[in-house]
């Protein structure tokens, strides 16, 4: 070990942490000739595996995967003994790595960096350690781990207890023997669940104090999985590559089976297979939709509860051990060895803190309202100030400026989880906003280290000395991280992923849930685009490529990827009949649509024969009559029918409690302009005249339409105004066609790749209207007289060729003093907000649409309770 003070004054890089990340960083940086020192408060390497020596501590990612992959020789020299290695074995491995690459000479043990100040003049960080060493470095890298800052035991009287106190996260080096002792264990996360069965083997009495029951499945530990070993043996490089490009950092088979639509037999078979396999990514992936769909999640959750009930003999204890307050997976699930069985032992007792909270810890033990417990030892397995705790523990600040702690007071903000604005040359390994704790850490760590080291090398090659993200890039990434979390069930749980375990910590979903593969792609693209979102400076000059790496909603991107993989022919290359058949086939694959009170089909008279319609009646309450919305489907005046927009109509009906009448107007090319618009106006008149018979409130009539349906809805409103009726309460225009000019910037930006292409739009126009007619307000409502039109809610989408004409219509209506609510569907395409049940991120947009529709009508009059 180096003596304090032997540290060179000036270094290229300082790394905090000598665990998995710090060791690999040191190795890579030294290989490239950077001068570097690593500091760690522990007396040896290991990081998390140095501190967490509690009985039963193991990794819960198979060790075939929880291992360095950067050097094939290293892989040949080390063989793991079990599927899930114990803490001592993992620590041995990290020691072996440190020795094999001669890393110890550049590590300062038992030393913490206490403060870091950026010196703008020198373009260096000035660091101070707890041994009063002062040093300067160009790059300051926190490799301090996501779960390294223990949470203080926030229990009244915790410092009073006179017996032995242990923290799983700071377990003593020497062997702890609980034989013949009365032990309390507080906390039932991974650390509690791993240690409790082993503590129970020794203790004379074990009392477990549980605040939240946790989902856990048997680890089924033993030899490393044979199938993985076989794959590794046959093609190690290919295996590692597929891990790097997998969702969680382990190559596992994914499924597209949905829990909600699978048969009972399939559900059971998939669940039992995952339960028997004993792997986190297996049980987290029983169904494709369990992370996003509460009903599907509940299927898995209930099957786990059934298992708990079948293992634990005392029904009351079993029930107390069954998690009920969070969706499965939204708090970190656990792998165990005999955890639930432990509660069948006569000397083990569970205290459910929800029923019997701890009032205080005393000198002798633990007090609850009804009982006093006496103990010889208390084991705290109470977790960590996860992901941000260690980062803000160092006093990091700009010279005299904002500290990281202050900047993150409302929650962390990062670019790619790697850097944060205002802190040049400060890197984080597996920081908040990266996949980190949701992934196989070994893979994520290597990816981050490789990225950072590659970046430093590129900077050196180009003559740059400083790097910092731009505010735009960072806020864009933060938004993307939030968007990814928002479509899942994760933010609903009081988890440490959300910062909910630490009193006063802001509730923000900390890791990036978009996947290791998606994340790696983003990082690679940032580099390929000349370090998009970063500014760099140095003797080589200055460079800033400002921009946002991900603007599209993640589920929209996923749908586009899936469609691209299908390699379908562009619609506009098909005969009309085939294009229609294709749309019908696509509609048949949709998930179940929202329930409404009643759906009936009928016909109404049109200008040239009957028009089919479908009426959606809301479920009571409220009892009818209801306001009425006449709806026109999308499809470029050529495609679409009553089925095509059925999910959207159901959704609007359920959200608005209005009767929705979806009208199938005549289509082109059989009936060209102005047939569709004439039908729309006729439909409005008929519905208005027959409102009562349809269950509607006379005079409460709105119109809505998507795409070409939005076009004829807008035109019908202009016609109604000109004809002196019917009175329209409001119009909802969803990504409508409002002009025939296809030269606005949104056409060049989004004309290709987002389902509605410029070519398809031209095909639609050619089928519907002659070029000579395309300036007519009857097909281009933007060009009409906009005075006196009913209030409008117009939805435009970022990635829609029609976006700018929609924006122009909103502005023109405002200029004509028409009340306008403009909903910008951030990160959406022309079609995605209407994909009910498929694109979850469309739901908030549809909620806004529904709110606007409801706002068009007078507030419902509530029946008086005393009436009658």
Which residue's CB is nearer to ligand NA7, number 168 or number 342? 168
Measured in whole angstroms, the distance separating CA 404 from the mean position of its chain's CA atoms is 24
Give the CA dihedral 152, 158, 159, 160, nearest 10 degrees.
180
**Is residue 435 a contact residue for ligand NA7 (CB under 6 A)?**
no
- Specify the residue, 513 or 840, whose C-beta has the smaller distance to ligand NA7: 513
Q: Which of 612, 405, 593, 383 is nearest to 498 (CA)?
A: 383
Q: How many C-alpha atoms does 151 have within 13 Å on its Cβ side?
A: 25
Which residues within the stretch 90-149 sit at the binding site for ligand NA7 (CB under 6 A)?
A: 147
SS (H, E, C) 348-361: EEEEECCCCCCCEE
Mark the segment that binds ligand NA7 (CB under 6 A) among 25-33, 190-198, 227-235, 515-523: 190-198
- Site for ligand NA7 contains 382 (CB under 6 A): yes
Residue in 692, 703, 704 with CA at minimum distance from that of residue 624: 692
- Rounded to a whole number of angstroms, the minimum distance from the CB of residue 225 to ligand NA7 is 20
Among 68, 166, 415, 496, binds ligand NA7 (CB under 6 A): 496
Q: Decide whether 29 or 280 has the Cβ nearer to ligand NA7.
A: 280
- Interatomic CA distance for residues 808 and 788, integer angstroms: 18
Q: Which is nearer to ligand NA7, 112 or 359 (CB)?
A: 359
Among candidates 118, 94, 86, 76, which has minimal Cα distance to 38?
Answer: 94
How far apart are CB 187 and ligand NA7 at their closest, in Å? 3
20 versus 239: smaller Cβ distance to ligand NA7:
20
**What character string, x for contact with ligand NA7 (CB under 6 A) and - otherwise, covers 789-808?**
--------------------
Binding mask 315-334 for ligand NA7 (x = CB under 6 A): -----------------x--
Q: Give the HSE-up count for residue 166: Cα atoms under 13 Å, Cβ half-sphere.
A: 30
| Three-class DSSP category at 711 | helix
Quote the strand ranges of 443-516, DSSP E. 466-469
Q: Which residue is nearest to ligand NA7 (CB)?
A: 189
Name the residue among 653, 818, 824 with its Cα closest to residue 721: 818
Q: Which of 17, 19, 55, 187 binds ligand NA7 (CB under 6 A)?
A: 187
User: Of residues 146-175, which lie at the interface with ligand NA7 (CB under 6 A)?
Assistant: 147, 154-155, 168
User: According to CB under 6 A, which residues from 193 to 252 bind ligand NA7?
Assistant: 209, 211-212
| Distance between CA atoms of residues 833 and 806, nearest Å | 15
**What's the rounded Cα separation, in Å, for the pair 732 and 728?**
11
Nearer to ligand NA7, 56 or 187 (CB): 187
Closest approach of Cβ 868 to ligand NA7, in Å? 50
The count of residues interacting with ligand NA7 (CB under 6 A) is 22
Distance linking the first and last C-alpha atoms of the chain? 89
Does 46 bind ligand NA7 (CB under 6 A)? Our answer is no
Query: Measured between alpha carbons, how far is 419 from 431 in angstroms, rounded to an integer?
Result: 8
Per-residue DSSP letter, 176: P
The residue (of 106 and 385) whose beta carbon lies closer to ligand NA7 is 385
Please identify which residue in 36, 351, 381, 537 interacts with ligand NA7, judged by CB under 6 A.
381
Question: Is 202 in a helix, a strand, or coil?
Answer: helix
Q: Of 548, 562, 553, 434, which Cα lies nearest the Cα of 484?
A: 553
Please report how close the Cβ of residue 684 comes to ligand NA7 at its closest, in angstroms: 56
Considering beta carbons, is residue 66 or 384 the nearer one to ligand NA7?
Answer: 384
Task: Candidates 129, 191, 447, 829: give the one binding ligand NA7 (CB under 6 A).
Answer: 191
Stretch that binds ligand NA7, among 239-247, 375-383, 510-518, 551-559 (CB under 6 A): 375-383
Cβ–Cβ under 8 Å, residues 362 and 159: no
Q: How many CB atoms lie within 10 A of CB 435?
A: 27
Cα 589 from Cα 594, distance rounded (Å): 15
Q: Which stretch binds ligand NA7 (CB under 6 A): 31-39, 189-197, 297-305, 612-620?
A: 189-197
Question: Under the rule (CB under 6 A), what is the footprint of ligand NA7?
Answer: 147, 154-155, 168, 186-192, 209, 211-212, 332, 353, 381-384, 496, 501
């Amino acid at each position: 070990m180096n003596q304090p003070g032997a540290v060179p004054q000036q270094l290229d890089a300082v790394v905090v942490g000598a665990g998995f990340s710090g060791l690999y960083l040191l190795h890579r940086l030294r290989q490239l000739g950077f001068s570097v020192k690593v500091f760690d408060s522990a007396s040896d390497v290991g990081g998390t595996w140095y501190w967490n020596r509690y009985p039963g501590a193991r990794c819960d990612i198979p060790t075939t995967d929880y291992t360095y992959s950067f050097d094939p020789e290293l892989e040949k020299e080390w063989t793991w003994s079990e599927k899930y290695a114990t803490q001592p074995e993992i620590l041995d491995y990290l020691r072996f790595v440190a020795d094999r690459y001669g890393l110890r000479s550049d590590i300062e043990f038992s030393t913490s960096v206490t403060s870091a100040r950026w010196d703008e003049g020198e373009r260096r960080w000035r660091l101070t350690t707890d041994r009063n060493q002062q040093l300067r470095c160009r790059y300051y890298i926190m490799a301090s781990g996501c779960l390294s800052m223990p949470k203080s035991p926030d229990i009244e009287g915790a410092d009073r207890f006179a017996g032995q106190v242990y923290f799983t996260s700071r377990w003593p080096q020497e062997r702890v023997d609980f034989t013949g002792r009365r032990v309390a264990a507080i906390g039932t996360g991974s650390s509690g669940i791993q240690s409790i069965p082993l503590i129970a083997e020794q203790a004379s009495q074990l009392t477990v104090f549980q605040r939240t029951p946790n989902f856990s499945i048997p680890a089924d530990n033993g030899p490393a999985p044979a199938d993985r070993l076989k794959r590794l043996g046959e093609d190690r490089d290919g295996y590692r590559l597929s891990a790097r490009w997998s969702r969680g950092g382990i190559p596992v088979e994914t499924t597209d089976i949905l829990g909600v639509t699978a048969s009972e037999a399939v559900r059971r078979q998939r669940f039992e297979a995952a339960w028997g396999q004993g792997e986190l990514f297996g049980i987290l992936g029983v169904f494709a939709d369990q992370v996003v769909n509460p009903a599907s999640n509940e299927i898995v959750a209930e099957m786990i509860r059934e298992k708990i009930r079948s293992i634990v003999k005392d029904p009351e204890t079993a029930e107390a051990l069954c998690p009920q307050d969070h969706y499965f997976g939204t708090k970190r699930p656990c792998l165990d060895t005999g955890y639930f069985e432990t509660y069948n032992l006569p000397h083990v007792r569970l205290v459910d803190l929800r029923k019997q909270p701890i009032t205080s810890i005393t000198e002798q033990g633990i007090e609850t309202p009804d009982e006093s417990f006496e103990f010889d030892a208390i084991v705290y397995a109470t977790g960590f100030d996860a992901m941000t705790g260690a980062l803000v523990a160092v006093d990091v600040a700009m010279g005299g400026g904002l500290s990281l702690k202050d900047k993150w007071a409302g929650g962390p903000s990062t670019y790619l989880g790697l850097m944060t604005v205002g802190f040049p040359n400060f890197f984080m390994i597996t920081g908040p906003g990266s996949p980190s704790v949701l992934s196989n850490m070994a893979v994520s760590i290597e990816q981050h280290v490789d990225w950072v080291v590659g970046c430093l090398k590129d900077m050196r090659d180009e003559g740059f000395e400083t790097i910092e993200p731009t505010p735009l890039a960072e806020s864009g990434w933060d938004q993307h991280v939030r968007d990814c979390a928002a479509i899942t069930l994760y933010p609903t749980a009081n988890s440490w992923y959300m910062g909910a375990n630490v009193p006063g910590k802001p509730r923000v979903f900390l890791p990036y849930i978009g996947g290791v593969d998606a994340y790696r792609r983003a990082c690679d693209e940032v580099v390929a685009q000349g370090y998009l979102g970063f500014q760099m400076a140095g003797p080589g000059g200055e460079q800033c490529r400002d921009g946002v790496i991900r603007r599209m909603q993640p589920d929209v991107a996923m749908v586009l990827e899936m469609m691209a993989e299908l390699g379908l022919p562009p619609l506009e290359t098909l005969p009309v009949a085939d294009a229609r058949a294709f749309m019908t086939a696509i509609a048949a694959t949709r998930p179940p649509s929202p329930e409404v009170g009643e759906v009936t089909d009928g016909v109404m008279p049109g200008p040239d024969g009957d028009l089919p319609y479908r009426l959606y009646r809301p479920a009571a309450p409220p009892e009818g009559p209801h306001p009425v919305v006449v709806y026109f489907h999308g499809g470029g005046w050529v495609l679409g029918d009553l089925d095509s927009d059925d999910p959207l109509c159901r959704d609007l009906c359920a959200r608005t409690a209005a009767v929705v009448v979806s009208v199938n107007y005549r289509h082109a090319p059989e009936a060209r302009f102005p047939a569709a618009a004439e039908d729309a106006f006729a439909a409005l008149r008929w519905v208005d005249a027959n409102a009562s018979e349809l269950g509607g409130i006379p005079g409460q009539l709105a119109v809505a339409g998507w795409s070409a349906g939005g076009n004829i809805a807008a035109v019908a409103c202009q016609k109604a105004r000109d004809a002196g009726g019917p009175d329209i309460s409001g119009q909802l225009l969803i990504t409508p066609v409002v002009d025939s000019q296809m030269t606005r910037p949104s056409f060049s930006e989004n004309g290709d790749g987002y389902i509605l292409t410029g070519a398809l739009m031209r095909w639609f126009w050619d089928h519907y209207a002659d070029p000579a007619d395309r300036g007519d307000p009857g097909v281009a409502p933007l060009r009409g007289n906009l005075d006196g039109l009913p209030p409008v809610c117009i939805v435009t989408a970022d990635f829609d060729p029609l976006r700018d004409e929609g924006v122009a219509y909103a502005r023109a209506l405002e200029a004509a003093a028409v009340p306008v609510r403009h909903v910008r569907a951030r990160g959406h395409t022309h079609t995605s907000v209407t994909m009910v049940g498929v694109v979850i991120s469309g739901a908030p947009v549809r909620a806004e649409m529904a709110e606007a529709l409801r706002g068009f009508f007078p507030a419902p009059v509530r029946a008086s309770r005393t009436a009658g």
